[in-house]
Amino acid sequence: MKEDLRGLSCPIPVLKAKKALTEHNQEESFEFVLDCGAACENVSRLARKMGFNVEAEKKDDGVKLIFTRQT
């Protein structure tokens, strides 16, 4: 699942990410693009608490966060 969360400030990205991670819990990986540093940290923290590995990849227009399920 991919979701673009650029242009949104906290807590909206966290709430949208939580909803996606909860509603699509059968998926093995998720990808979110954000452009707010605080939102990146908060969404990453949420994903780790929910049992995901987090990878961050900096882009010109934001940060792509990739979450995969821990095995």
Catalytic residues, which ones?
10
Residue type, 8: L
Distance CA 22, CA 35 (A): 22
Classify 29 as helix, strand or coil: strand
Sequence-distant (6+) residues with CB within 8 A of 2 are: 30, 31, 32, 33
